[in-house]
Amino acid sequence: MHELQLVALDGGDDTEMSWQERSLCAQTDPEAFFPEKGGSTREAKKVCVGCEVRSECLEYALSNDERFGIWGGLSERERRKLKKRAV
């Protein structure tokens, strides 16, 4: 996994932030990303569309076999389909 070096806007030293720290979902209600069975994933996916680390998030979910929640803009079902197509 690659991490990006960011320069602090206050002119301080370089600060290394992981993709999780840069994710938009980290600044949002986590409940939206883990809806009840049959619940809407729409709000979470809206957040993912504008997230700069969406691909890192999806890569993490696929490589760690995350079975719950919205990761990289995809639901559990969508990730399973993606994995089956890749095989």
pLDDT tens sequence across 22-60? 999 999 888 999 998 889 999 999 999 999 999 999 999
Q: By residue range, what is the domain housing residue 47?
A: 4-86
Q: Is 3 annotated to bind ligand?
A: no
Query: What pTM was estimated for this model as a whole?
Result: 0.76
Sequence-distant contacts of 49-58: CB under 8 A, at least 24 apart: 49/73, 50/24, 51/23, 51/24, 51/25, 52/22, 52/24, 53/19, 53/20, 53/22, 53/23, 56/1, 56/2, 56/19, 57/19, 57/23, 57/25
82 is in an annotated binding site: no
55 is in an annotated binding site: no
Number of separate domains in the chain: 1
Is 38 marked as a binding-site residue?
Answer: no
